[in-house]
Amino acid sequence: MTKTALVVSAHSADFVWRAGGAIALHAAKGFRVTVICLSFGERGESAKLWRLPGMTLDRVKSERQAEAAAAAKHLNVHDIQFWDLGDYPMELTREHLFRMVDVYRTIRPSFVMTHSRQDPYNFDHPMTNEFAQHARVIAQAHGHNPEQKVIGAPQVYLYEPHQTERSSWNPNVLMSIDSVWPQKRAAIECMAGQEHLWDYYTRVAMNRGNQTARNSEQTCTYGEAYEAVFPHVVESLA
């Protein structure tokens, strides 16, 4: 049976910078990866577009959607959904929460990726963290739509925020993304509206790569780092 993964992204570009390597890597391993973009980041993360004359909210959204869809293609995302819930601030209702529970129940992901618990630079990110984790726990509840099968206990990985130390984020998992780096870089380059971040996140990837090498005995040029929320259940310590 095909394995799956779920990425819950506050804005339509977050999954690229922060989890693009993990997505492409698992797609290459045969996982079907679903990405939910709760918003387009149309208000708060589209500065460059807003500087163009005659820009409207709808045009920003459609540009951002096109960028994200193109990036998703590079990463071999199986399904990308744009929920268009607004940003700065997001408004996440009980109804959206249950919609996300349905996603969990349908996809049954092997693991989940989302934002850090804190971020003084961005209030949508911790809100998305809470939302994604809360829905996961409800999807485990036998009394929620009892005719459906509950999910198990997929690990939740928090991907890298902008300034890690100020966001109380401490990575305990590192992964080489060398084999998919060209895809991630291509996806990054789809983000025409945030060109100033292309090289920023390339450097992040290279330094995480260095740390990946240092913490193992493999060579590694590009890496990604994550904080696992739950203990790892392992069968061997080696």
Site for a second copy in 63-82 (CB under 8 A): none
Of 32, 55, 73, 192, which one interacts with a second copy (CB under 8 A)? 55
- CB closer to a second copy out of 34 and 46: 46
Can you read off the two tokens belonging to residue 16? Answer: 């690229």
Nearer of residues 61 and 74 to a second copy, judged by Cβ? 61
Cα 15 from Cα 114, distance rounded (Å): 8
Binding mask 15-54 for a second copy (x = CB under 8 A): -------x--xx--x-x----------xxxxxx--xx---
Of 66 and 214, nearer to a second copy (C-beta) is: 214
Burial letters for 74-106: b for 16+ Cβ neighbours within 10 Å, e otherwise?
A: bbbbbebebbebbbeebebeeebeeebbebbbe
Q: Which is nearer to a second copy, 70 or 213 (CB)?
A: 213
Q: Which CB, 186 or 229, lies closer to a second copy?
A: 229
Site for a second copy in 155-174 (CB under 8 A): 155-157, 162-166, 169-174
Q: Please say which residue, 14 or 87, places its beta carbon nearer to a second copy.
A: 87
Binding mask 178-217 for a second copy (x = CB under 8 A): ------------------x--xx--xx-xx--xxx-xxxx
Kindly give the interhelix angle for 198-214 and 14-28, rounded to the nearest 10 degrees.
50
Output the CA–CA distances (angstroms, integers) from residue 131 to 10, 45, 136, 137, 238, in the order listed.
10, 20, 9, 10, 34
Q: Which of 66, 81, 149, 153 binds a second copy (CB under 8 A)?
A: 153
Q: In the complex with a second copy, which residue's Cβ is closer, 36 or 122?
A: 122
Alpha helices in 91-140 (DSSP H): 94-107, 124-139
- Cα 217 to its chain centre, rounded Å, is 28
Sign of the torsion angle spanned by Cα atoms 118, 78, 100, 187: positive
CB of 69 vs a second copy, minimal distance in Å: 20
171 close to 157: Cβ distance less than 8 angstroms? no
Contact by Cβ (8 Å): 69, 81? no
Stretch 83-122 residues interacting with a second copy (CB under 8 A): 87-89, 91, 94, 97, 110-111, 113, 120-122
CA distance 4 to 1: 10
Please report where in the chains the tokens 């934002």 appear, as a residue: 115
**Choice from 81, 141, 149, 182 touching a second copy (CB under 8 A):** 141
Pick the binder of a second copy from 8, 37, 60, 158 (CB under 8 A): 60
How many residues contact a second copy, by CB under 8 A? Answer: 89
Instruction: State in angstroms the smallest separation of the CB of 184 from a second copy.
Output: 15
- Tell me the Cα Rg of the chain: 17
